[in-house]
Amino acid sequence: MKKRQGIRVDHFETERLRKDGTLINVSLTISPIKNRAGEVVGLSKIARDITDKKQAERKKEEFVSFVSHELKTPLTSLKSYIQMAQVKADHPDFLKKALHKAVQQSKKMENMIGSFLNISRIEDGHIRIEKTSFDVSALIYEIIEDGNITEPKHHFFYEGETSLKAFADREKIAIVLTNLVNNAQKYSPNGGDITISCHNKGEKIHLSVIDQGIGISPADQKHMFQKFHRVENELTRTIPGFGIGLYLVSRIIELHGSSITLQSEPGIGSTFAFDLEKG
């Protein structure tokens, strides 16, 4: 009936099976074909492969679902600690402990949200690197101070010059170091030493974050800086994360005209390192 009346049939989406047995997503647009008298004599069908688009949409939905789950966990913990603090406000020791835990969870959420926003800006081409000269050793001490607050079971050490100027985007390098330190903490569940070093290297400054954690297998090392990659084994099963921290780190370092390296041995620990321009 639609064919006779000449009504345009708007596009719709369906699935089709290729000759090789592969199932693909297809967008179909069907329009009436008229003769000179204006009568509909057939239909024009245009099919477009939208498999990549559909896969991207599914990945986005999975990502949003995953992010929602990951943010719920620290938010629920934060709410619980605050409620406990309200109930036991007259117990100073308990209150101090509860507030400490609340700070930990709020920092986790802050880092997660910051990572999501920066990933989005990088991929949209909206992130800008604004280089200035700053004391990178002073920044490292700030990162160490935050680390001591969030995970007191780890021992932090600074190794290197007491004052060393870098020419880089201080805010973005803070994101890099924070992510690397958070990573070192997560993958060193039994505690241990975390060392941040900063040394002269000719015309560059060499920075590294070294942990004594569970380490990374050679096979996983090849994929560590890929978006959404997570090491999956018995040791990492209970470690939270969504696989964008190291991807974000590598992209920021690339935008500084440098690259990040990884050296690791299972059961021994990992070292992440990169160079910056001198300030």
Percent with pLDDT over 70 in the chain:
73
- The pLDDT value recorded for residue 73 is 61
For domain 132-278, the CATH superfamily is: Histidine kinase-like ATPase, C-terminal domain (3.30.565.10)
Is a pLDDT exceeding 90 seen at residue 186? no
- pTM equals 0.63
Mean pLDDT of the 168-197 span: 90
Pick 12 or 130 by higher pLDDT.
130
**Low-confidence winner among 120-134, 155-169, 189-203, 215-229 (lowest mean pLDDT):** 120-134
Encoding tokens for residue 152?
Answer: 């007191």
Euclidean distance between CA atoms 36 and 114, whole angstroms: 61
Euclidean distance between CA atoms 259 and 261, whole angstroms: 7
In sign, the C-alpha dihedral spanning 140, 145, 151, 156 is positive
Find residue 265's DSSP bridge partners.
Answer: 269
CATH number for 53-124 (one of 1.10.10.60, 1.10.287.130, 3.60.21.10, 1.10.3760.10): it is: 1.10.287.130
Mean pLDDT of the 182-190 span: 86
Summarize pLDDT for 38-88 with one digit per residue, the tens.
787 777 777 788 777 777 777 666 666 656 656 666 666 677 767 777 677
Summarize pLDDT for 190-242 with one digit per residue, the tens.
888 999 999 999 889 999 999 999 998 888 888 888 877 677 666 666 666 66
Domain boundaries, the chain: 2-49, 53-124, 132-278
Euclidean distance between CA atoms 211 and 147, whole angstroms: 13
Per the listing, tokens 């800008």 go with: 128
Which among 279, 276, 272 has a CA at the least distance from the CA of 257?
276
Euclidean distance between CA atoms 171 and 128, whole angstroms: 11
Q: Residue 201 CB: number of other CB atoms within 10 A?
A: 12
- The pLDDT value recorded for residue 268 is 92
Mean pLDDT of the 116-140 span: 81
- CATH architecture for residues 2-49: Ribbon (2.10)
| Cβ–Cβ under 8 Å, residues 174 and 141 | no
